[in-house]
Amino acid sequence: MQVPIVENVLKLNDEIAEINRKALKTSGVFTVNLIGSPGCGKTTLLEATFQRLNDQLTIGVIAGDLTTARDAERLAQWSDHVVQISTGKGCHLDANQVRQAMQNLNLDKLDVLVIENVGNLICPVGFDLGQDVKVAMFSATEGDDKAAKHPYLVQEASVILFNKTDLLEYVRFDLDLFRADVVKLNPHTPLIELSAMNHDQAGFEKWIAWLVQNAPHALQYGPA
Ligand code: MG
Ligand code: ZN
């Protein structure tokens, strides 16, 4: 009896995700579902991205967290288009929460919407939010086995970010092993190695180039 109930929850989620996707595409918004562990640097990456692109692109953020509006408050210093979702005990965002948050955004003004998912590498992967792409974020402080241990996230991501390269010399992290795991799981997806804290470097510019390249072409993307 329980399996059909779970299936219905996901089916309803997928239906709402399609409604979100249609609304976002109609407004010409390129939408990223950013998925990574707590503390991997998602919000720091977005702060640096705003700093770098505010003159070129209008970026909105929907920030999901269990409690506190700390991330949204940090990001609101850079943009008027920031909405917080408090998930309470929920460990991922679902399409209906994003639907409600979207009602607080003027989609026609946005070029890009980043949905900063709840810090979690597991169930956010299974819930379609209506995004164009999923972006996976790992970091040097999490251990080099995280890609291998979270294959579904790696396989579904359109780009994989590896953050905190500036800390590699201080932590035990086999970068060659991590790279090999990523290539084995998803040989076609770019792996961008960067430091969101020291964002004046080549890796960060690759992320910016990827975002800018994709932003105006949202209508070409199918469901992620
Ligand atoms: Mg955050
Ligand atoms: Zn969850």
Using one digit for the tens of pLDDT, what is the confidence trace for 130-141? 999 999 999 999
Residue 200 — very low, low, confident or very high, per pLDDT cuts 50/70/90? Answer: confident
Which residues, including other chains, have CB under 8 Å from residue 136's CB and lie 6 or more apart? 35, 36, 150, 153, 154, 156, 157, 159, 160, 161
**Residue 201: CB partners within 8 Å, gap ≥ 6?**
194, 195
- Upper half-sphere CA count for residue 145 (Cβ side, 13 Å): 1
Query: In the structure encoding, which two tokens stand for residue 129, read together?
Result: 């939010």
Q: How far is the CA of 179 from the centre of ligand 2 (A)?
A: 27
Average pLDDT, the chain: 93
Q: How far is the CA of 157 from the centre of ligand 2 (A)?
A: 18
CB distance 171 to 141 below 8 Å: yes
- Cα of 24 to ligand 1 centre, how many Å? 23
Neighbours of ion ligand 1 (CB under 5 A): 42-43, 71
Residue 31: phi, psi to the nearest 5? -115, 125
Structure tokens given for 52: 């770098």
pLDDT band for 223, please (50, 70, 90 cuts).
very low
Model confidence at 116: pLDDT above 80: yes
Query: Which pTM value belongs to this model?
Result: 0.93
* Residues in CB range of 176: below 8 A, 6 or more apart: none
Band of pLDDT at residue 95, cut at 50, 70 and 90: very high
Q: Closest ligand to 82 CA? A: 1
Contacts of 126 (CB under 8 A, 6+ apart): 10, 92, 152
Per-residue pLDDT tens for 17-63?
999 999 999 999 999 999 999 999 999 999 999 999 998 999 999 99
